[in-house]
Amino acid sequence: MEYQFRAIEKKWQAVWNEQKAYQVSNESDKPKFYVLDMFPYPSGAGLHVGHPLGYIASDIYSRFKRLKGFNVLHPMGYDAFGLPAEQYAIEHGVHPLKSTHGNIDNFRKQLDNIGFSYDWDREVRTCDASYYKWTQWIFLQLFNSYFDRSSAKAKSISALVSIFDTEGNSNHICPSDAQLKFTAANWKAFSEKEQQDILMQYRLAFCGYGEVNWCEVLGTVLANDEVVNGFSERGGHPVEKKRLRQWYLRITEYADRLLTGLDTIQFSDAMKEMQSNWIGKSYGAEIDFAIHNYDGALKVYTTRPDTVFGVDFMVVAPEHALIENITPDTHKASVAEYIAYVKSRSERERIAEKKITGCFTGAYVVNPFNQKLIPIWISEYVLAGYGTGAIMAVPCGDDRDFKFAQHFNIPITNIIGEAFDGIEANPTKEAVLTNSDFLNGVVQKDAIAIVNDKIEAMGIGQRKVNFRMRDAAFSRQRYWGEPFPIKWINGIAYPLSENELPLLLPEVDNYGPGPDGQGPLANIESWVSDNYETNTMPGYAGSSWYFLRYMDPHNTGAFCDRKVSDYWNQVDLYIGGTEHAVGHLLYSRLWTKVLFDLGHIGFDEPFKKLLNQGMIQGSSRFVYRKRGTHTYVSAGLIGNYEVDQLHVDVNMVDGLELDTAAFKKWKPDFVNAEFILEDGKYICGVEVEKMSKSKFNTVNPDDLVERYGADTFRMYEMFLGPVEQSKPWDTKGIEGVHRFLKKFWRMFFDEMKGKVWVDEPATAAELKILHKAIKKIEEDTERYSFNTAVSTFMICINELYDLGCHKKEVLSQVLILLTPYAPHFAEELWKVLGNEGLVINAAYPLFEAKYVLETSKEYPISINGKVRTNIAIALDATEAQVHEIVLGSEAVQKWIEGKEIKKLIFVKGKMVNIVL
């Protein structure tokens, strides 16, 4: 009987399906384990071999935990709202729902091919009304909450209203506008509109005007993490700053908790680093500099108060509110001209050019410590949105300030002696201060606290923590997203009540933008006359909480029953790529914290452990065309010709050798191709690049499953290398894994003799091999080292094969070990051996040390650190006995040759080293 992998795989997939073998219950005596994949956006391109890498790893781990006796939740779904489907709709007039469903069906087929153990009854799609009803519901929780700073928790907005009623806002600084102050009496006197406008400035989901990333081509606003160097992440279109009415999430209030929460979860250092950089917490001080001949002060933010005696000028952002008031008439014209110039430049031009520009206002501040007059400049390198939009410039210590001073010939004060060479700024904190009055002789980092104390004592400033992170833009001027459950009446946002949800996404005639930068929903008369919000939510809305819905996907009364979320609790293992570091992974952490604060769930970090799979890169192949001809030159010979390099489909190349017949058929251009060969072969060029259709280096998993089977494919993806590492795809090596499975198969069936497995007791040698494998494979799987686990299978089978082992007792156990990796193969042979039930429900073999005990060991004997020979010594030998045996050995004597032995190091069970 031959190993007919395709027949076996289809057969068992049908059986598992029929028996609902992967259905998971929310009630069980077993310990729970939650393994989650980052659900895919179902694009039209389908899966390539890079996508399933993480899915296979998570599937292996889930199946492993299941065999180990856990109740394992392992669901899958689709992140189905989003831009590409809508762009497709605009271009082809196809409803996004229709193309999305088509893509999902295709994804599902591809996923099913690989034999995953998902509980498909729990599938979620973010675009289903039954799902986005709850996305809207959670939005309302955010809308109806504010962040109470004293307890650092979200609380109901109605609680805030009662506080305002009794004490005004004196104990609750407005996060949007710290200047806003009112008493209880004021509050009661406000109109409804005024009250609501104030509350809006406290809500966790709020609407306001702000500078946003506007993408003209996409016709929508984008979040900061969706913009890369001034271009949209999707599509690469230019992005401009624009002032628009937008919804936001007040994520900045959670900055501290998002930061400290990182200590409680297992993310890679790189991932934590990315998140904390994004949050960008910095400790500094705000200092008021009195403005000369003007009643007022310029407030600056600095992390380096120690350098206050080195301030040579101040710089304010071009948008700074004080400019108009402090600029004397003599300078009004040049300031106006400069501001006009800044406005004429786009965000991208500023970033790309990095020109030093600026303008003197004609105004001065007074340094509070030495009464020196300091000129106030305007420059675009100071950002209005960070700190106070104004800085104190210290050219000897800051590179940008130094360059600015040089460019405008501003004299530089040196306060760090020889640490400053006059050629470039030195940002050190270790230098001893000079020219700094009461700070002279103090090391800079110690001076920070001294100055901070002083400014607080003088009442001209205070310590201040700043965050780089901005509130997250939460609305899109698009069609294909969740509608906001909000009605606007007389400029007041009224939330829908819970029983009005879901607010269904209406049908539109065209997907183009509405008037005045509004979304397509603004084109619908009834929608507008019902006063509904015309924006929709961004792509990250649905993905911020999907892991909760899997727990209780059919609940119509709640997003997830509290008892159920208490049972499943955090995701124990979350697998996905690093590309979501500052988007999805930050937003879902935020939503979890808010839901926790409001008492809807019992944990405030969603993911206990995150494993990032590496990217599988494409290995591109090239042909070389002699310029202006149809002649193609083999890679080894191109030095002799002037050639152009062309991508060729990697699937037409065997290793490096091009299938020239297939190439001619590939595209009409190549029909008449002629080849200059080397050794009768056309050899292609190779380069590792990102896997993409346009580079013809994608490999479809379906093809490999068809040729080698799902089990081979699964094991090969793991065998490629550590999951976390990026590596190029190379189909060639898949043969090795396939050979392994065929070899394993032959331990059950021989081509000539048929059935060869036997029901005989195992020998000590066989049990030793088995238990060595149990230990290693269990440990490797547990630490996600799937590649070494696969090689351990190979070693185990090679050794058993060499012993001629065909025993059911041994083989059954190995099959269980293999189940997470090659489930179809294991299931088939499990049945063949006549075992009861399904192998996917078997109990994981128990490692027993007694089978692998050794009595002696081949010790490597090194002399001065170099291994010279091996000697077998009993493991229970005493150190004295070892000395005797080693020194008595002929091979060792030869090396010692009468030299004096300084030392003999014996590490039991490891090695012996003789030092001469």
Q: Which of residues 350-369 bind RNA (CB under 7 A)?
A: 350-351, 354-355
Q: Are strands 390-393 and 313-316 parallel, antiparallel or unpaired?
A: antiparallel
Contact between 866 and RNA by CB under 7 A: the answer reads yes
Contact between 883 and RNA by CB under 7 A: the answer reads no
Q: What distance separates the 2 farthest-apart alpha carbons in the chain?
A: 105
> Other CB atoms closer than 10 Å to residue 612's CB: what's the count?
22
Note the residue count of the chain.
Answer: 916
Of the residues 798, 841, 878, 893, which one makes contact with RNA according to CB under 7 A = 798
Nearer to RNA, 190 or 386 (CB): 386
Nearer to RNA, 355 or 630 (CB): 355
Contact between 785 and RNA by CB under 7 A: the answer reads yes
Give the DSSP per-residue string, 599-615: TSSS-S-SBSBEEEPPP
Contact between 795 and RNA by CB under 7 A: the answer reads yes
Residues between 276 and 295 with contacts to RNA, criterion CB under 7 A: 277-278, 280, 282, 284
3-state secondary structure 711-752: HHHHHHHHHCCCCCCCEECCHHHHHHHHHHHHHHHCCCEECC
Nearer to RNA, 144 or 379 (CB): 379
Contact between 787 and RNA by CB under 7 A: the answer reads yes
Nearer to RNA, 201 or 862 (CB): 862
The region that residue 516 occupies, defined by phi over 0 for left and psi between -120 and 50 for alpha, beta otherwise, is left
Residues between 233 and 272 with contacts to RNA, criterion CB under 7 A: 268-270
Measured between alpha carbons, how far is 551 from 679 in angstroms, rounded to an integer? 61
Nearer to RNA, 102 or 733 (CB): 733
Stretch that binds RNA, among 47-55, 195-203, 300-308, 665-673 (CB under 7 A): 300-308
Contact between 899 and RNA by CB under 7 A: the answer reads no
Q: Are strands 145-148 and 153-156 parallel, antiparallel or unpaired?
A: antiparallel
Contact between 730 and RNA by CB under 7 A: the answer reads yes
Token code pair at residue 408: 């405008």
Nearer to RNA, 208 or 577 (CB): 577
Q: Are strands 32-37 and 573-576 parallel, antiparallel or unpaired?
A: parallel
Residue among 117, 44, 109 at smallest CA distance from 824: 117
Residue 896 CA from chain centroid, whole number: 58
The dihedral through the CA atoms of 229, 235, 240, 243 has a sign that is negative
Of the residues 779, 809, 847, 889, which one makes contact with RNA according to CB under 7 A = 779
Residues between 741 and 760 with contacts to RNA, criterion CB under 7 A: 742-743
Burial class (CB in 10 A: 0-12, 13-18, 19+), 325: exposed
Question: Helix or strand or coil: residue 905?
Answer: strand
Nearer to RNA, 350 or 626 (CB): 350
Residue among 154, 255, 137, 146 at smallest CA distance from 203: 146
Of the residues 600, 776, 806, 807, which one makes contact with RNA according to CB under 7 A = 776
Residues between 666 and 685 with contacts to RNA, criterion CB under 7 A: none
Residues between 395 and 414 with contacts to RNA, criterion CB under 7 A: 398, 400
Stretch that binds RNA, among 180-188, 451-459, 785-793, 803-811 (CB under 7 A): 785-793
CB 458 → RNA: shortest distance, Å?
19
Stretch that binds RNA, among 119-127, 153-161, 190-198, 379-387 (CB under 7 A): 379-387
Of the residues 720, 811, 839, 840, which one makes contact with RNA according to CB under 7 A = 720
Contact between 726 and RNA by CB under 7 A: the answer reads yes
Token code pair at residue 663: 């190439």
Residue among 537, 502, 551 at smallest CA distance from 129: 502
CB 418 → RNA: shortest distance, Å?
20
CB 872 → RNA: shortest distance, Å?
10
Nearer to RNA, 477 or 712 (CB): 712
CB 914 → RNA: shortest distance, Å?
8
Binding mask 189-228 for RNA (x = CB under 7 A): -----------------------------------xx--x
Residue among 204, 222, 366, 361 at smallest CA distance from 295: 366
CB 421 → RNA: shortest distance, Å?
16
Contact 503, 483 (CB under 8 A): yes
Of the residues 736, 833, 835, 889, which one makes contact with RNA according to CB under 7 A = 736
* 903, containing H or E segment: strand 903-907
Contact between 389 and RNA by CB under 7 A: the answer reads yes
Residues between 307 and 326 with contacts to RNA, criterion CB under 7 A: 317
CB-based contacts of 49, cutoff 8 Å, min separation 6 = 616, 691, 698, 699, 700, 701, 704, 717, 729
Contact between 582 and RNA by CB under 7 A: the answer reads yes
Nearer to RNA, 63 or 464 (CB): 464
Sheet of 866-874, strand order: 866-874, 856-863, 911-915, 903-907
Token code pair at residue 657: 């050798």
Measured between alpha carbons, how far is 435 from 441 in angstroms, rounded to an integer? 9
Stretch that binds RNA, among 16-24, 296-304, 326-334, 478-486 (CB under 7 A): 296-304
Of the residues 292, 604, 860, 883, which one makes contact with RNA according to CB under 7 A = 860
The dihedral through the CA atoms of 106, 109, 115, 118 has a sign that is positive
> Other CB atoms closer than 10 Å to residue 697's CB: what's the count?
25
Token code pair at residue 528: 């507008």
Residues between 132 and 161 with contacts to RNA, criterion CB under 7 A: none
Contact between 381 and RNA by CB under 7 A: the answer reads yes
Of the residues 246, 302, 436, 565, which one makes contact with RNA according to CB under 7 A = 302
CB-based contacts of 503, cutoff 8 Å, min separation 6 = 136, 483, 484, 485, 496, 532
CB 358 → RNA: shortest distance, Å?
11
In order of 595, 719, 764, 770, the CA distances from 775 in angstroms are: 41, 19, 16, 9
Contact between 867 and RNA by CB under 7 A: the answer reads yes
Binding mask 450-469 for RNA (x = CB under 7 A): ----------------x-x-
Contact 640, 631 (CB under 8 A): no
Contact between 386 and RNA by CB under 7 A: the answer reads yes
Contact between 185 and RNA by CB under 7 A: the answer reads no
Residues between 583 and 612 with contacts to RNA, criterion CB under 7 A: none
Contact between 862 and RNA by CB under 7 A: the answer reads yes
CB 292 → RNA: shortest distance, Å?
22
Contact 303, 395 (CB under 8 A): no
Nearer to RNA, 3 or 88 (CB): 3
Token code pair at residue 65: 């935990």
Phi, psi angle pair for 516, to nearest 5°: 55, 45
Residues between 18 and 77 with contacts to RNA, criterion CB under 7 A: none
Of the residues 193, 783, 841, 901, which one makes contact with RNA according to CB under 7 A = 783
CB 793 → RNA: shortest distance, Å?
8
CB 866 → RNA: shortest distance, Å?
6
Binding mask 631-660 for RNA (x = CB under 7 A): ------------------------x-----
CB-based contacts of 826, cutoff 8 Å, min separation 6 = 815, 816, 818, 819, 839
Nearer to RNA, 86 or 253 (CB): 253
Stretch that binds RNA, among 16-24, 122-130, 298-306, 818-826 (CB under 7 A): 298-306
CB 714 → RNA: shortest distance, Å?
15
Of the residues 446, 453, 498, 735, which one makes contact with RNA according to CB under 7 A = 735
Residues between 468 and 527 with contacts to RNA, criterion CB under 7 A: 468
